[in-house]
């Protein structure tokens, strides 16, 4: 028979801390009472009872002179307030991981979020968490219950939610719940609060059960996390839950047996089970050495290897194979201040980390990924400097005197003088851009690396210029970007080479400055009008022939056309009127009216809208002659013709006319 033991077994940090608190009180000669059983293990609770430790269900049941110990599961806020109001001497041994969920529950209510908890509503830990909620809250124990909850409360899909889990919740079921919530709710903040020791313990139990014929789970039958371990193992092989070594079943020869233990199982019981198994199999298991290894303290600045077991908006939870709980603050995950943890890592990722700080009281380790990455990066950028290598990074900050480029985990400072192709360009336009650069200075002592974007841009521009001049011909069309404007034209970047559009080429209409047509940064379609290869100058055309107003005039306004025109200028000999944008015609003073006038202002003023007839067009000299008189004469001629063609009126003579006139006069008088 082959026996294999899970690496993670025995007391988790929270349980060990609570049990140690009670034993420490006893060693100090104090009397202790626990608010509920301090641990779900009959051997430990039996030993404590034999030493005089009392178990109470409410703070007011605490005997006089006893110190009350709040167990690792935690309690509702009102229980803590009750203990204080009674003036009791008490020690709060709530697991730090559970305390964190208490804070989440309180903050959710304060921020108007609905608090959703995955767990067993009858478990003391869950009851304690719910007791810290300040707003609407719900408890679900499966993805099916979550779907049912959202079905019965459809309004939750639109409300802001905060979703967390009991520290000993089934890791697989938690992933299902989180995925379900992600699909159904778009306004939910998900916090991975399963204890990393629990998550690792469950993962190891699953892996062990998949390759073993039988599994033995050691722990108290009232322990939630021990029961979950058995459930996980039972999915893959026959599993047994035992509290003591004498409950071990008899296994057939040739079987492979895996052993794991819950977080409430003392090391002494685990060693007893292993000793019993060793006697049966003659297989020596040095579990004590493994236990000591897992309890080994970690030193600050030490490198460790970790696995991501949870992700929240503010930190990443990492299993580093020790009793302490590892976490990486978002700021220590990457040098990019705008990045989100979920964009950098995912559950199951393995990485090298640097220990920043240990907290033995809370059993946590603060870790850094970016610093390890940065340490690796120094060798890389030093080598890149020596080889004059071109690197690629993202501009993440615009600072005084330059920009910061993030290359992997390294922050590279690029001075303003080295950040753009020419001086004076706006550095803010580089923000968020991917850029190519070289390392020009490395100072490890000062932790400073300096780069140059300009050196790469100049090389790229030179290469682009050479390629451009090899291929360019007059008449070719290009898409370019307006680089600058002057009083005489616009300079356009054609991709490494600048060409100029003269102001006369910007519009068919007369303009005073290029800014009337273009702005710096505009993307324009241009064509090559002329090339000066010797001096490297390019003349560009921007006006399209089809937009030429004289072409439009010839096509749409032949001689004889009557159209509306606007008076735009006056002279002694006539008035100028705009026929179409870009073309003004002259109405000679003799053509303004059908009678003699002294000056154009006698009839017209600037801004008048008039009907004119095009009487002549000189395309060579770009002149248009207009007439109002022609239209007036045509109108008069038409009226005379209509009058000549009208029938004569019939005249009726009557002897009664005077009488009728007298009658009409009488009527008017009345």
**CB 45 within 8 Å of CB 247:** no
**CB 452 within 8 Å of CB 414:** yes
Whether 472-543 shares its CATH topology with 549-639 is answered yes
Helix (H, G, I), strand (E, B) or coil at 656: coil
**CB 594 within 8 Å of CB 569:** no
Count CB neighbours of 321 within 10 A: 16
Q: Angle, nearest 10°, between helix axes 171-184 and 143-152?
A: 30
Question: Is 157 considered catalytic here?
Answer: no
Q: What is the pLDDT of residue 132?
A: 95
Mean pLDDT value across the chain: 84
Rounded Cα gap, residues 438 and 452, in angstroms: 5
Question: Which CATH class name applies to 472-543?
Answer: mainly beta
Q: What is the pLDDT of residue 574?
A: 93
Q: What is the pLDDT of residue 52?
A: 94
Q: What is the pLDDT of residues 183-217, one digit of tens each?
A: 888 788 888 888 777 777 888 889 999 999 999 99
**Residue 654 phi, psi (nearest 5):** -145, 140
Return the DSSP state at 635: H
Q: What is the pLDDT of residue 278?
A: 65
**Domain 96-194 belongs to what architecture?**
3-Layer(aba) Sandwich (3.40)
Q: What is the pLDDT of residue 198?
A: 74
Residue by residue, DSSP assigns 328-348 as EEGGGT-S-TT--HHHH--TT
Q: What is the pLDDT of residues 465-482, one digit of tens each?
A: 778 887 888 888 888 888
Q: How confident is the model at residue 665 (pLDDT cuts 50, 70, 90)?
A: very low
Q: What is the pLDDT of residue 362?
A: 66
Stretch among 79-88, 311-320, 505-514, 543-552 having the lowest mean pLDDT: 543-552
Nearest to 72 by CA among 91, 95, 53, 92: 95
**Residue 182 phi, psi (nearest 5):** -65, -35
Rounded Cα gap, residues 477 and 87, in angstroms: 88
**Domain limits of the chain?**
96-194, 303-368, 373-457, 472-543, 549-639
Mean pLDDT of 410-439: 88
Question: Which CATH class name applies to 549-639?
Answer: mainly beta
Q: What is the pLDDT of residue 1?
A: 66
**Residue 117 phi, psi (nearest 5):** -125, 130
**Residue 539 phi, psi (nearest 5):** -100, 130
Q: Can you point out the beta strands (E) in 333-463?
A: 350-359, 364-368, 390-399, 402-407, 410-415, 434-443, 448-452
Q: How confident is the model at residue 360 (pLDDT cuts 50, 70, 90)?
A: low
**Residue 640 phi, psi (nearest 5):** -65, -40
CATH of domain 303-368: 2.40.50.140
Residue by residue, DSSP assigns 164-211 as EE-TTS-HHHHHHHHHHHHHH-SSEEE---S-HHHHHHHHHHHHHHHH
Q: What is the pLDDT of residues 387-403, one digit of tens each?
A: 889 999 999 999 988 99
Half-sphere exposure of 370 (CA within 13 A, CB side): 19
Mean pLDDT of 452-456: 91
Q: What is the pLDDT of residue 612?
A: 93
**Residue 226 phi, psi (nearest 5):** -70, -40
Nearest to 160 by CA among 193, 124, 187: 187
Rounded Cα gap, residues 121 and 474, in angstroms: 80
Q: What is the pLDDT of residue 6?
A: 79
Q: Could you tell me which residue, 276 or 550, shows the higher pLDDT?
A: 550
In the set 61, 80, 106, 125, the catalytic residue is: 125
pLDDT beyond 50 at 366: yes
Q: What is the pLDDT of residues 120-138, one digit of tens each?
A: 999 999 999 999 999 999 9
| Topology, domain 373-457 | OB fold (Dihydrolipoamide Acetyltransferase, E2P) (2.40.50)
- R_g of the chain, CA atoms, integer Å: 45
Q: How confident is the model at residue 611 (pLDDT cuts 50, 70, 90)?
A: very high
**Listed ranges 324-338, 372-386, 553-567; the one with the highest mean pLDDT:** 553-567
**CB 589 within 8 Å of CB 599:** yes
Q: How confident is the model at residue 169 (pLDDT cuts 50, 70, 90)?
A: confident
Q: The dihedral of CA 549, 552, 556, 559: what is its sign?
A: positive
């Amino acid at each position: 028979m082959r026996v294999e033991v899970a690496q993670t077994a025995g007391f988790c940090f929270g349980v060990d801390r609570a049990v140690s608190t009670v034993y420490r009180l006893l060693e100090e000669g104090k009397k202790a009472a626990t608010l509920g059983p301090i641990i779900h293990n009959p051997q430990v609770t039996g030993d404590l009872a034999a030493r005089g430790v009392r178990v109470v269900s409410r703070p007011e049941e605490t005997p006089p002179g006893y110190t009350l110990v709040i167990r690792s599961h935690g309690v509702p806020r009102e229980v803590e307030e009750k203990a204080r109001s009674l003036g009791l001497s008490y020690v709060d041994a709530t697991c730090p991981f559970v305390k964190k969920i208490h804070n989440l529950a309180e903050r959710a209510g304060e921020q108007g979020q609905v608090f959703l908890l995955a767990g067993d509503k009858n478990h003391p830990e869950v009851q304690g968490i719910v007791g810290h909620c300040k707003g609407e809250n719900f408890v679900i124990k499966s993805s099916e219950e979550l779907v049912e909850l959202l079905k019965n409360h459809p309004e939750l899909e639109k409300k802001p939610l905060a979703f967390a889990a009991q520290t000993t919740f089934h890791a697989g079921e938690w992933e299902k719940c989180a995925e379900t919530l992600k699909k159904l709710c778009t306004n939910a903040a998900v916090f991975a609060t399963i204890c990393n020791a629990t998550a690792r313990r469950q993962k190891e139990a699953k892996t062990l059960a998949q390759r073993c014929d039988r599994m033995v789970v050691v722990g108290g039958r009232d322990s939630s996390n021990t029961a979950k371990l058995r459930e996980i193992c039972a999915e893959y092989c026959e599993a047994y839950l035992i509290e003591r070594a004498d409950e071990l079943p008899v296994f057939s020869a040739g079987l492979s047996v895996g052993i794991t233990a819950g977080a409430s199982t003392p090391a002494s019981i685990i060693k007893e089970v292993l000793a019993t198994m060793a006697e049966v199999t003659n297989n020596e298991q040095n579990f004590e050495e493994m236990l000591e290894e897992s309890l080994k303290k970690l030193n600050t600045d030490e490198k460790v290897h970790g696995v991501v077991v949870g992700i929240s908006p503010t930190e990443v939870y990492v299993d580093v194979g020790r009793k302490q709980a590892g976490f990486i603050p978002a700021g220590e995950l990457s040098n990019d201040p705008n990045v989100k943890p979920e964009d950098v890592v995912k559950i199951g990722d393995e990485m090298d980390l640097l220990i920043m700080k240990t907290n033995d009281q809370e059993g946590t380790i603060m870790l850094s990924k970016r610093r390890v990455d940065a340490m690796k990066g120094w060798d890389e950028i030093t080598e890149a400097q020596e080889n004059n290598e071109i690197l690629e990074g993202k501009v993440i900050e615009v600072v005084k005197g330059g920009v910061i480029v993030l290359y992997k985990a390294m922050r590279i400072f690029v001075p303003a003088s080295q950040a753009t192709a020419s001086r004076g360009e706006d550095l803010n336009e580089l923000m968020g851009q991917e850029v190519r650069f070289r390392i020009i200075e490395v100072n490890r002592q000062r932790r400073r690396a300096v780069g140059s974007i300009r050196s790469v841009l100049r090389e790229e521009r030179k290469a682009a210029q050479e390629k451009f001049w090899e291929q360019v011909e007059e008449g070719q069309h290009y898409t370019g970007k307006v680089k600058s404007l002057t009083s005489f034209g616009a300079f356009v970047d054609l991709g490494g080479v600048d060409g100029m559009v003269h102001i006369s080429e910007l519009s068919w209409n007369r303009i005073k400055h290029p800014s009337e047509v273009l702005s710096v940064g505009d993307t324009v379609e241009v064509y090559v009008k002329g090339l000066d290869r010797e001096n490297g100058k390019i003349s560009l055309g921007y006006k399209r022939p089809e937009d030429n107003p004289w072409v439009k005039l010839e096509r749409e306004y032949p001689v004889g056309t009557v159209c509306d025109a606007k008076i735009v200028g006056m002279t002694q000999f006539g008035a100028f009127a705009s026929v179409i944008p870009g073309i003004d015609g002259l109405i000679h003073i003799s053509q303004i009216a059908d009678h003699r006038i002294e000056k154009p202002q006698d009839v017209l003023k600037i801004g008048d809208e008039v009907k004119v007839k095009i009487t002549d067009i000189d395309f060579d000299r770009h002149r248009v002659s207009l007439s109002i008189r022609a239209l007036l004469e045509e109108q008069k001629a038409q009226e005379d013709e209509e009058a000549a063609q009208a029938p004569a009126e019939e005249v009726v003579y009557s002897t009664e006319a005077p009488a009728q006139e007298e009658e009409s006069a009488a009527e008017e008088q009345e």
